[in-house]
């Protein structure tokens, strides 16, 4: 394939944000729209995209090597780019969670399991990087299959 000229150019402004979300293809356009247009990040953020998204920050006992990698990538990006803000997004019907054993969470209800992991990530981040501003979101769809994203507090 010959080289392809794109309309995109190199982002020269410093980034302040790292976003972590799932790789599920059904949500990519929505995540992009949310980060760029609703949160006004204007394509200027670091991004980790992997199955289960921020769940990798909570796997210490079940999949310690995955947890190690998730934290390694997070620390690298935050330190290398002096990031100030972290955006973690979970989503409805996440296939990664269907693979996880139920004993890892207090509830078997998918959204409650994901919110439990966001609380675990919040606690771990408060200890590890209290300087970071951390936001949590949950993406789902409505009856017409339009994506909605809610902020998750507490
Ligand atoms: Zn997913």
What is the residue extent of each domain of the chain? Answer: 17-151
Q: Quote the ligand 1 centre to 7 CA distance (angstroms).
A: 30
Q: Quote the ligand 1 centre to 12 CA distance (angstroms).
A: 31
Q: Quote the ligand 1 centre to 53 CA distance (angstroms).
A: 7
CATH class of 17-151: alpha beta
Q: How far is CA 99 from the centre of its chain?
A: 18
88 or 62, greater pLDDT: 88
SS3 of residue 150 by DSSP: strand
How many whole angstroms separate alpha carbon 18 and alpha carbon 81?
9
pLDDT class for 150, splitting at 50, 70, 90?
A: very high
Q: Assess whether pLDDT exceeds 80 at residue 60.
A: no
Q: What is the mean pLDDT of the chain?
A: 93
Using alpha carbons, select from 17, 41, 21, 30 the residue that is nearest to residue 149. Answer: 30
Q: What phi, psi does 129 have (nearest 5°)?
A: -135, 70
Q: Quote the ligand 1 centre to 99 CA distance (angstroms).
A: 11
Q: Quote the ligand 1 centre to 1 CA distance (angstroms).
A: 32
Q: Quote the ligand 1 centre to 128 CA distance (angstroms).
A: 25
pTM of the model: 0.93
Burial of 63 (0-12, 13-18, 19+ CB in 10 A): middle
């Amino acid at each position: 394939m010959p080289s392809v000229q794109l309309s995109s150019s190199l982002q020269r402004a410093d980034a302040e944000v790292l976003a972590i979300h799932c790789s599920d293809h059904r949500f990519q356009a929505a995540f992009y729209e949310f980060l760029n247009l609703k949160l006004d990040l204007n394509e200027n953020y670091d991004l980790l995209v992997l199955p289960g998204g921020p769940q990798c920050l909570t796997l210490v006992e079940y999949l310690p090597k995955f947890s190690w990698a998730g934290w390694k990538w997070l620390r690298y990006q935050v330190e290398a780019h002096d990031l100030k803000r972290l955006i973690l997004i979970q989503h409805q019907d996440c296939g990664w969670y269907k693979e996880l054993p139920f004993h890892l969470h207090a509830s078997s209800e998918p959204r409650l399991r994901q919110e439990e992991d966001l609380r675990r990530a919040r606690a771990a981040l408060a200890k590890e990087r209290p300087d970071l501003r951390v936001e949590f979101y949950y993406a789902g769809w409505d009856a017409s299959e339009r994506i909605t994203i809610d902020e998750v507090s507490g």
